[in-house]
Structures are given as C-alpha cells and as structure tokens.
Structure 1
Amino acid sequence: MGSSGSLLIFIFPILFNLIPPTASQNDGICTYNAYYCWKCSDTGTYTPGGMYQKNLNSLLSSFTTNTEISSGFYNFSKGRDPNKVNAIALCRGDLSQDACRTRLKDSINALLQNCSTHPKEAIMWTGHGMVRYSNNLIFGIEKEDPIKFVPGPNPAKDPAQFDLVLKPLLSRLIEKAASGDSTKKFAAGHATVPGGETIYALVQCTPDINELNCSHCLTEAVEDISACCGGKKGGRVLKPSCNLRYEVSLFYLSTADLPVNIPPPGPAAPAPKEAAKKSNTKVIIIIVVVVVLIAFVTILSSICVYLTVKKRGVKLEDNSDEISFVESFKYDFDTIRSATDDFSDANKLGSGGFGAVYKGRLQNGQLIAVKRLAKNSEQGDREFSNEVMLLAQLQHRNLVRLLGFCLKAEERLLIYEYVANQSLDHFIFGPNNHMHLDWETRYKIIGGIARGILYLHEDSRVRIIHRDLKASNILLDEDMNPKIADFGMARLFAIDQTQGNTKAIVGTYGYMAPEYLHHGNLSVKTDVFSFGVLILEIVSGKKIGRFRHSENGESLLSYAWRNWRESTISNVIDPMLTTSSRIETTRCIHIGLLCVQENVVNRPTSASVVSMLNSHSVTLSVPSKPGFHVQNNSGLTLVESEESESRTPSVYVSKNEPSNITEPYAR
C-alpha cells in the first residue's frame, strides 16, 4: 500500500470520531475507534416535555456552566419524586476545568441524542469522561452494570511478557487511585515491557464511592481484561463507578504521567516435585513466622492500648472499634492553617462545646470546613476516633462528607466538605427564617434525612446508630438538601446486630427515646424516635426544647398527640404553611407520631419510614402513646415512662440549643 493508503489508515480513526453517533441504537457499539459508547436503560421512560425531562435538562446543563467545581466531578439531583433526577458527570482526571466543561457539553448532547427513547436511566462514556443519570439513588454506590469491553485491534509483540507488566502496572495505579480523596480518584502511568512496548495506563473511579469500593471495582475490571482484551496492545473496561484503559501510545496529558517500576520476572519455575517440596517448606516457614508475629503484635498492642488509656484517662466502651488512621486521609497541619488564614476569626463559622469550625480554601480552590477541637474539648479521644473511623467509611448524599483529619501535638482537626447554608435549626426556628421555608422544601428535607438514616442503619457496610439526631446536626447545602452531621457520639453495631446496651447515655434531651434515656437500651429505633421528633418540629415550626403550650407546660409530643386524638391536627401545623399542603403535612405528623411511640416494637424501621414518605399508597397504622417529655426544674427535658428505673446510667447530654460545632455554613 502506498503513502496515501498509510495516510488513510492514520486519519480514519480521527474522521470516525468526528461522525456523530446515530440515534437508532439503544446501546452504543463500543468498537476501538468509536468515540461514543452508551447504554439507554429499558426499565422505564419519561414523558417528553414533562417535569422529569425539564429537571433532567436543567440538571445536565448546570454541569457545563458550573465554574466552582475544579475537580471534574459533578453529582447533583433535581426535583422531587417521582420526577427527581440524580446525575453524575466525571471528566478524565488529567483534563483542565475548561476542557472538562467543553467535553461534558459534547457528551451530554450525544447522550440525549442517542437515548431518544426517553429512558429514565442512561449512561454515556467517551474518551474524556462519563455522564450518567437515573431516577434511582446513584450517589456513593458502587455499580457494576452496565459494563462495556473495548479491546484493541492489534496483538502485543509478546503477549505473555506484555501481561506480566500490564497487571502489576494496573495494580499500582489502582492502589493510588483508590486512596484519592472525595474529589478525585485517578491515576495514570507507564511501564516498559522488556524488549517490547511501553504500556500507558489510566484508572479512575467516581470519587463518591469509598476506597474499598473503588479498589474492588477496578480490581474486577482488571480480571475482565483477560476475557475481553487478553494479548492486545490496548483495551478499555467501562463501568458506571470506574473505568480503566491502556495503550502502547500516550493517550492522556503528559503532565499526569508517572513512571512505574515493575520488577523483571523471576527465574524459570523449578520442576514440579522440587517446586512442591520448596512450596511446602515455604508454607511451614510462613506459618511459623505469621503465628509469632501475630502473638508479638497482639501483646504489644495490648500493652500500648493499656498505657494509652491509663495515660489519657480514656474510658473505652465494651466492643468499641479502634480507629485505623489511613494515611490517605491525613492532612498537613500547615496546609490547613494556611487554608483558614491561621484560623482567623473572619473565617470562623461557629463554635460549641467541642471547639470551633472554620471555613477554609485549599490551594486548588476547594472550599472546606475545619472542625478544630478545643484542647479542653469534651469530645475525648474516643469521640474523635469514632468520628474519623465512621465518617471515613461513609459516602452518601445526605451525610456530611469527611475529607480527612490532622493530628499535630495537641491539635486535632477534622476536615469536612463545605456546606453552603446554615443548619436546619437556623432555618426552621429562626425568627426571620422559617417563614421562608415552604412546604416543598421542608418535605424534601424530611425525605433526605430519612434516606440518610436508612443508609446508616441498613445500606452502609457497617450499621451505625447516630444517637444525636437533632435540627442543629442537620446541615443544608446550596440546594437545601439535608446532610446529617456530627458523628462524635455515634455507636457502631455489627451488621447483624439489632440492639445493644450502654451505661454511658449521650445525646440531647427531648430527642432521646425513653428506653435509651432510662435504661441505656440502644437500637436503630432510638434514631427513629429522634427522627419522629424532627418531623414534628419541621411541620410545626416549634422546637421540642422550647415548646410551651398551656399553663401545664405541655410538650410538643403531648400536644401533637392530644390534637391527633381530638381530630384537631391542623393546630399542630405551622400557620406559615399554605392550606394546599394539608394532606402531606397531616401525613407527616402521622408518620412522626408513629416514630415517637413509647413502645419500641411499634415504631417503624427507617426503611418503612422511607417507604411511607415515598408513596402515599402505603397505609399507615394507628399510632399509640408517645414517650412524653416534661420540663424539670433544671431547665432540661426529661422523659416520662410508665416503667420504673432499674438503674441510673451515667448521662452525657448535649443541651437542646443551637450548636454550631459541626455546622460548616456560610456566614
């Protein structure tokens, strides 16, 4: 073939990429030269011109106009069920902010063009990123399907040697990418096959999934390479939560490239009998060494824990989990000090019993909220360990995201995502604010809190009881989406554990369930009770600890219960709300009363609560008597119970007043 033929071979892939994809296929044909690859779900469709499509178009267009996000990762939602749209956009980790937005615009247009059947769920992959939307929850969840394999057309010079370099290269990159933060999980690098090609590889996860899920997603993708792309010079594995690609030429920006040293293959394997003999010897040696090391480490750890506890005076709960400090979550103290302008008062967002919260801006422009624990903070080592250990494992749209921590001498810092608005406490109870919080927003907040609690109780890898759910621990982002904050008092349960008991009672009077306050009985229903109080506060606009009705000092719960029984429930509803929302507000009061029932067994689970809120067709049972709250002489709120107290547990109580310690809100 002449020079013109060679030129044609060279420019054909480029011309192919410039050809817009057709709108007739439900699945993109993921060939090596195809620029677009997509999947339009057939699980449901939306009505053209309807509210779902309006929310979808508005949401996707916001990705291309957002100038505040520089990490190349977008995860937002728009609207309310059944027309709520959740969407994720992810740019290749080496792209600039401007290039990212330009590529996203092309990808979004191609996605909408090719998914012309109006599916409620779809995904588009390109050489520069991914766009995905769904009517289902997709944030913080590792998703394996749909999956696309894109093998290269040409074989490697020496497939066996190529594979011996490719797998370790990808393994090193996976380790680096998975340990990234909540804004970017990306790694790229190259290694050279002895006497052969140089392999350039790239791996990336959506940063909303945690380190373990990212590593799992990419590791599974590597396993798929052998089946789809074995012996090829290039290949791609595309998933909703992660993707990888490798080539023998540089396909990403050189600024992102890192050399990866892969040790050369060892000597030829010994004969089978000799190998078996050596293998048995090695196994015996390894077993002996491991046993000795385990014994040594166990003894040493016990001594260290004992000395630490003795020195610091820390009282650890039975079955409590020790914090495992992950290097990737550590921040340098000087970096945080610089970001907050040396913790200046101008950047101070609030303060509380555990210390103060400061607004900060990292060098890459990312806004953060820094919780600086006071040296005499009531939050001890156990609470600090709890908060880091728990939040490091949690990824959910309705939970405040922990970005990292810092330990230096007596300084203990927790670094969170920055949440633009104030806490729910300020919006719902503020003298000038609650009138601006319409019912649609309040209902959205109630639903978001419920989904966050469900994640803690059922959907996360560990079961967590928050123990201090209250309005001041619910933060609101720029779209008024709620985020549960402050896990310093949270309790970790085994995944199959449903209840426990503790002598140390922590929480806030008014929100604590009777069986927990009086007897230390702890379960997921403890949080459900607190959530029921929150519902009644949000609907009524009245705070549990400040509500006084009649000369008898009637509490919010007893007031709601009395009006329920007397069929005058409209008395409980905030007069600022319009009459058009009476059906939903009355239903929410009904759900709230079910949650605060005195009998633990009668209270619904968090899963049932979410179902009740999502569907009005779910029949609600008749609530029984709540655990009433009355005011004592000390000004704190106690719980009445028909049972006699069998013991007096020690109580650490957070006052039922606005506390800003975990409120990274804008001033």
Structure 2
Amino acid sequence: MASSRHFVVAHVVLFLVITSSLAYEDPAGTYCNPNSPVDPGSLLATYIGDLLASLVPACSRFATFIASSNGNDETIVYGMAQCRGDIWGKLCCLCIEAAADQIQKSCPNSSDAQIWYNHCTVGYSQHRFFGKFDTSNGVVSIRNQEDYSDPQALSDLLGSLFNELSTEAINPKGKGFAAGQANLTDSDTLYGMAQCTKDLPPFACSQCLDAAIKQSQSSCGPSKGCRVFYSACVVRYELYPFIPYGISGQVEEKLTIHHEFHKENKFMS
C-alpha cells in the first residue's frame, strides 16, 4: 500500500512538473532535412499537417508509440510519435501535442523532420522508416557546459552504465527503454537512460544505441550532462536525477496495449 501511494504521489508531482514546463520548454533537439523541401501550400504539406494533427487523438487512445501514414501512393508521408519510457497517459499526450505543434513551426519547409523533447519525440518523412534507424543525421545536445573534475572516472563509469542500459533496453522485458544510476564518488551520482522507438527489433535497437553511445563518447567529452538523439534511439546522462526514482519500472506495467488499423493510419502501443 505504501509503495502504491508513493507511485501515485510521484506521478502527480511528475504531471505538475511536465504541465508547467511544456509551456516554455524549448525542444531538446530539432532536425529539418534541407534536402527534402516542401511547398507550404502543396498537397504534401497538407498531408503532413493532417498527419501531425492525428497524433494527439491517437495518443488519447493510450498508445505510447504511434506509427501513421497519410496520403496516396504518389504523395505519401509517414509519421511517428513516442514518449519516454516512464511517461504515459495525459503526460504523454501533452508532450506529443506540443511537439507536433512546434515541429511545424521549426520545419515548415521540410518533408523530412524530427523533434525531440525531454519526454517525447515526433517525426515524419516521405520515406517509410518504420523498423529502421538512421545515424547519419543525429543531434548532440549539451545543455550543461561545465566539465566534470575527473574526466577519466566519468568516461569509465559512463561506458559501463550505458552498456548495462543498452542490454536492458534490448531485452523484451525492457520494451526498448532502460534507466539507471551509478555512484561516481560518495557525493556524485551518474544517471543514465537509453531508449529505442518501439518499432525497432532488438538487433536494430542494439545497433542504434551502440552508435549513439559511441557518438556520446566522441562528442560529449567530460561534460556533466549530454544527450545524443538519432531517428530511432536516444541516450542521455546527467549528474542529477532526470527520471523520478521508482516510477520507470512501474509505469511500463500499466501501459494499455492498443492496436487499431485505419485506411491510412496505424496506432500502436
């Protein structure tokens, strides 16, 4: 009973934090493909807008991963939305709604784009990308410009932590998501996360995370915090707890499996 109350209180606190932060939160990363232009007044642009508008109603059906398409054989666009592994329900939908709105503002002239927030990601393309990953256009986000005092200790522990998280994420029980922590010193704790989109099979998830981890090692240096975003996976580490303790594993058990097929849209949990 005590643990149940802890979960409810923690999730209420998380809800308040997210709802208050989404109003002013900047995207953690944005990618607009400059080689995939689209005329804002074209039929393709209309399809993109309609597809993005369909993501929020799909989320309200309790799906935490949404794969969708809109258009016809000659002009078609594919889209997806996914929330972080510990985010579900209304919290998930709020983030997807914000991301779907912002990506149209950030990438109005691109038919291939993706946006990442702390709690979700939304992307679309004319290429069918479901079950695939692309590491050619990743985004590295270093919000904390301060370096850790012992770079070697950070690097060694981070490598070990990310390897463990990757193994956990590709395990079917992990459902493509893992979060954990490890002690750097008596006073410093390293927190990490690894996640793949739910359409990736385990082997592809492993490859994507491996590429993201290697990118973090080469690009993040001794920074106290860093995120690497690829189209179908993300890794992150910080020296503060960015995922509320005790929520991650419990939320996955509460996710409602939902499959629904339409003529042009497919929603999955």
Match of 1:205 among 196, 219, 244: 196
In structure 2, relative to structure 1, the CA distance for the partners of 1:18 and 1:239 (3 Å cut) is same
Residue 230 of structure 1 is matched in structure 2 by 221
1:257 to partner: Cα distance: 5.2
1:203–1:218 Cα contact (<8 Å) kept: yes
**1:133 positional shift:** 0.4
SS in 2 for 1:127: coil
Match of 1:220 among 195, 208, 211: 211
Could you tell me how far 1:51 is from its partner in structure 2?
2.1
RMSD in angstroms over aligned alpha carbons? 2.7
Deviation at 1:35, TM superposition (A): 3.5
DSSP-derived class of the 1:222 partner: helix
Shift of 1:165: 1.6
Q: Please name the residue that 1:63 is paired with.
A: 55
Counterpart of 2:232 in structure 1 is 241
Judged with a 3 Å threshold, the aligned counterparts in structure 2 of structure 1 residues 256 and 159 are, in CA distance, closer, same or farther, namely farther
TM-score by length of 2: 0.81
1:374-453 matched pairs, under 5 angstroms? none
**Does structure 2 conserve the Cα–Cα contact (< 8 Å) formed by 1:235 and 1:246?**
yes
Any conservation in 2 of the 1:115–1:122 contact (CA below 8 Å)?
yes
| Separation in structure 2 between the aligned mates of residue 119 and residue 171 of structure 1, nearest angstrom | 35
Q: 1:132 to 1:174 in 2, by over 3 A?
A: same
Seen in structure 2, the aligned counterparts of structure 1 residues 67 and 228 have a Cα distance that, compared at 3 Å, is closer
Residue from 108, 119, 129 that aligns with 1:138: 129
- Native 8 Å contact 1:145 1:240 kept in 2: no
Equivalent position of 2:66 in the other structure: 74
Quote the Cα distance in structure 1 between the aligned partners of 2:246 and 2:32.
34
How far apart in 1 are the matches of 2:215 and 2:104? 29
What residue in structure 2 maps to residue 478 of structure 1? Answer: 262
Alignment of structure 1 residues 266-665 onto 2, 5 Å:
364-367=255-258, 477-479=261-263
Unpaired segments ≥5 residues, structure 1: 1-15, 21-33, 259-361, 368-417, 421-476, 483-667
SS of aligned partner of 2:172: coil
Q: Which residue of 1 is the match for residue 76 of structure 2? A: 84
**Are the equivalent residues in 2 in contact too, given 1:17–1:35 (CA < 8 A)?**
no
Contact 1:233 1:247 in 2 (8 A): yes
TM-score with structure 1 setting the length: 0.34
Q: 1:50 to 1:153 in 2, by over 3 A?
A: same
Change (3 A) 1:18 1:65: closer
Q: Aligned pair in 2 of structure 1 residues 169, 256: CA closer, same or farther (>3 Å)? A: farther
- What is the letter of the counterpart of residue 220 of structure 2? C
User: 1:122 is aligned with what amino acid?
Assistant: A
Partner of 2:35: 43
2:100 aligns to what?
A: 108
Per-residue deviation, 1:365: 2.8
Q: Secondary structure at the match of 1:232?
A: coil
Q: Match of 2:242, SS?
A: coil
Distance 1:109 1:159, change over 3 A: same
**CA separation of 1:73/1:481 partners in 2, compared to 1, >3 Å: closer, same or farther?**
closer
Identity among equivalent pairs (%) = 25
Residues 86-135 of structure 1, C-alpha deviation per residue, up to 9 Å, x if partnerless?
Answer: 0011111111211111111111111111113x211111112122111011
Number of aligned residues: 243
Distance in 2, Cα, partners of 1:149 & 1:256: 26
Partners of 2:81 and 2:214 lie apart in 1 by 25
Distance in structure 2 (CA, Å) of the matches to 1:254 and 1:164: 24
- Rg larger for: 1
Structure 1 residue 224: deviation in Å? 1.6
Deviation track 1:133-185 (CA, whole Å, cap 9, x = no partner) reads: 0111111112113111123311223222222221111111111111237x941
